[in-house]
Amino acid sequence: MLVELLTAFKLLTGIPILVNTSFNRRGEPIVETPDDAIDAFLGIGVDALYPDGRFYRPAPPERSG
């Protein structure tokens, strides 16, 4: 069912991605601004963020010695 939803959305919009609208940290309101999204992205530990046509991934952990 998810594949059909994404396929239909892509046909309508040209965009093959949907984002869960409950993007937020537990106990906080839903993300509403780009700043909210970046704050949640850094605090939640998601794999990537794609706001306003730019792709972000967290920095890799620093290796010691």
Task: Tell me the C-alpha distance between 2 and 6, whole Å.
Answer: 6
- The ranges assigned to domains in the chain are 18-59
Classify burial at 23, counting beta carbons within 10 Å of its beta carbon; exposed 0-12, middle 13-18, buried 19 or more: middle
The chain-wide mean pLDDT, for the chain, equals 85
Inform me whether the pLDDT recorded for 17 exceeds 90: no
Q: How confident is the model at residue 21 (pLDDT cuts 50, 70, 90)?
A: low
Residue 36: what are its φ and ψ, rounded to 5°?
-60, -40
Query: Which has more confidence, 21 or 58?
Result: 58
Query: Which has more confidence, 52 or 21?
Result: 52
Q: How confident is the model at residue 65 (pLDDT cuts 50, 70, 90)?
A: low
Inform me whether the pLDDT recorded for 46 exceeds 90: no
